[in-house]
Structures are given as C-alpha cells and as structure tokens.
Amino acid sequence: MYAILKISGQQFKATPNAILRVPKMEAEVGGKVTFSDVLLWSDGDSTVIGAPLVEGKLVHGEVVKHSRADKIIVFKKKRRKGYRRKNGHRQWYTEIRLTGFGS
C-alpha cells in the first residue's frame, strides 16, 4: 500500500510507518497532521489516479521533530575580476511519521 501526496507544492511517496522530511510546517512536535491532497492511491490490488486529486482518501501522520538540513555552500565567482562571494544556507524541515491510511 502506498500513496503519492502533495505537501507544500512537492510530491512525496507515502508508505505505512514511513518517515518523511517535508518543508517546515506550523505544527507542534507530537501533534497530529492529516493530508488530504492525495494524487495517487494504491492498495496493492488496484490503483486510483486522481484528476487532480483522489476523493475521500486521507493520510494521517504525527510530527516527530523540526530541524535544519545540512549546510549547502553557495559560491559565486567571476574569473579575472577579483569577485568572489561565499554564502551558506540551511533549510528548515519537519519530520513526520505516517501513522495511518484511511478514507
């Protein structure tokens, strides 16, 4: 069983008891979240593809933690001009444990 979810404009594959790293959400740690934007639903025997969403299907989860991803380095340079800029960035994310699939 799996589903394809749309969360914050991105698509994620959801399986039972999976842990997803999604862009930061405004939810408390330990809180419950429900996702209703299901793009595809498969129970092993049949697959339902939404147009654009699958009606009546929900995925439930629990917020595990809020944290920041590893640092990426943004380096800009123009050759022979003496121009160099170094910048770092760490993106916030929310970890969610999927607890149930339902209608």
pLDDT (tens digit per residue) in 3-31: 999 999 999 999 999 999 999 999 999 99
pLDDT (tens digit per residue) in 62-92: 999 999 999 999 999 999 999 999 999 999 9
pLDDT at 103 > cutoff 90:
no
pLDDT (tens digit per residue) in 30-53: 999 999 999 999 998 999 999 999
Domain span at residue 11 reads 2-102
Which among 92, 93, 74 has a CA at the least distance from the CA of 84? Answer: 74
Q: What is the pLDDT of residue 18?
A: 96
Spatial CB neighbours of 5, under 8 Å, sequence gap ≥ 6: 11, 12, 13, 14, 35, 37, 38, 39, 59
pLDDT band at 61 (very low <50, low <70, confident <90, very high): very high
Count up the domains in the chain and report the number: 1
- How many other C-beta atoms can be found within 10 angstroms of the C-beta atom of residue 25? 15
